[in-house]
Structure formats: C-alpha cells, structure tokens
Amino acid sequence: GIQGPELMERFKQQAARFGTVFVAGRVTAVDLSVRPFRLEVDKQLEGTQTSLVAEAVIVATGASARLLGIEAEEKYLGRGITTCATCDGAFFRDRHVVVVGGGDSAMEEAIFLTRFASKVTVVHRREGLRASKIMADRARANPKIAWKLNRVVVDVVPGDRFLSGIVLRGTGPDEGLEETLDVSPDGGLFIAIGHTPNSQLFAGQLEMHDTGYIKVRNGSSRTSVEGVFAAGDIHDSHYRQAITAAAAGCKAAIDAEKWLEAQGR
C-alpha cells in the first residue's frame, strides 16, 4: 500500500508537472472586494511577507476537529487519541475504546467502532444526549456500547502502543467523583464533539451558515462572490471524507476554469 504523506507528495509532483507554483506559507489576510483578489502570505520558513493577486480563488481550508483542551491531547494525538473513527477504527480491533460526545456524530462513531472494537464506552458530560432519538436509540440498542454519563475526560494513562486508561471526572450529580476507565491493552480515545470550519479569513466577505461553513450555490462550488469557489470540508459539514473532499476539489477546479474562460481570461 501507500501511506498518506507519500500519496500527497505524488499529487504535488503531478501538479508541478502541469505548471503549478507552490508557495510555502500561511495566508494571513484576504481582500475579496478588489479585482484581482489580494492575498497576504506569511512565508514562515523564510521569515518574510509577500502579496499574491488572483483572478480566481478556491477556498479549501477545511475544518478542524474540536478537542477537549486537556494536556494529554498534544502528546497522544495519533498515539491513542484520535478524532476520526473511519480513519483509525481498524487499529483498535478487539480493543476497548472510548468515544467522547453526545451528538449524532458521536453516536455514529460509536456504532461504527463496534465493527472493530470489543467494547465501546460513550462518555458524555450530561445525563441527556444531544443526539436525535433515532441515533441515540440505535446506540443504546447495541450490546457492545456502554455508557459513562455525567463524566468528562481529564487525562489518559499511556499503554505500550496506545492507551491503557482514561481518567474521568464526574459532573452534575456526580461532581467530585474521579475514576480511571480501564481500556488496556492499547485502547483508544475518539473525540467526537464536532468540527470548526477554518473560515475566519473570509468572515464578512463570503456568505456562511450560522455554523461558519461557507455557502455554495446550487450544488456547485460557487460562493457568494463571483470568482471565489469552495471545496471540501470548508463547506461540507456532513461527509467529511478525503474522497468527497478530493471530488469537491475537482468540481471547484472545473468551475473556476469555466468561470475564467467566461471572463475571457
């Protein structure tokens, strides 16, 4: 097989063969009120700033998984702590895993993980779930799923490869309680408390949903500003998969090309 980083490098090499120019840096500001559009870029490796102008822009900044804010996340993310059941579930075959969250996404992740894990424990800070009744009922009916309600995760205990324990603290009626959930050997912690779209750069310039995802028109990649297109998780709050994002990137490239041709560019 081929690993993700190698596949990305091959994509990059292919794009370079067709004349793509790569700029290593971070876009710090965008002005979509002028033509051509203007982008300010911090070239962090060189320690310099530069400006780019563009007739068309494809926004593919994605969405970031919300984390718990505990110290262990930085150390063990990718080493027992993860935010993607479909990506990492198979690594925990016949293991005990914990899913944090109380919404539909958490229920979907928990149910999906029962395909691999020997046991799935759902941890939620409240007694009641935010999930829809149908998703909550499906999860509750699954014999592999256990529940720790009125609990929050405050730490993890490392194992040989992944994790051996999840430290929980009680909330509400269980305030003051602290316990360590045994997930040995080598269990996992799946965080499913939602995503935040990386759309802050475009606030006030592009139309967005209340959740911050960029609005696109009529199933296309076109945004509220002519010449600006959106692809992937920045507008898709539902699927959030690499293959759907790649397809959206293809659509955005075609839409941008056709728009530029129509403008005589």
Taking only Cα atoms into account, the Rg of the chain, rounded to an integer number of angstroms, comes to: 22
Residue 180 has φ and ψ, to the nearest 5°, of -115, 120
The catalytic residue among 88, 233, 236, 255 is 88
Report residue 262 as tokens: 């129509």
- Evaluate whether 231 touches 59 at the Cβ level (below 8 Å): yes
C-alpha 105: how far from chain center: 12
Is 88 labeled as catalytic in the residue annotation?
yes
What is the distance between the alpha carbons of residues 205 and 11, in angstroms, rounded to a whole number? Answer: 31
The catalytic residue among 31, 87, 182, 250 is 87
Residue 116: CB atoms within 10 Å = 18
Compute the C-alpha angle 146/148/153, nearest 5°.
125
The catalytic residue among 42, 84, 104, 155 is 84
Helices (H), the chain: 4-17, 72-76, 85-88, 104-113, 133-141, 242-262
Helices (H), 18-149: 72-76, 85-88, 104-113, 133-141
In terms of phi and psi (left: phi > 0; alpha: psi -120 to 50; beta: otherwise), the region of 166 is beta
Is 250 labeled as catalytic in the residue annotation?
no
- Evaluate whether 89 touches 180 at the Cβ level (below 8 Å): no
Is 84 labeled as catalytic in the residue annotation?
yes
The catalytic site residues sit at 84, 87-88
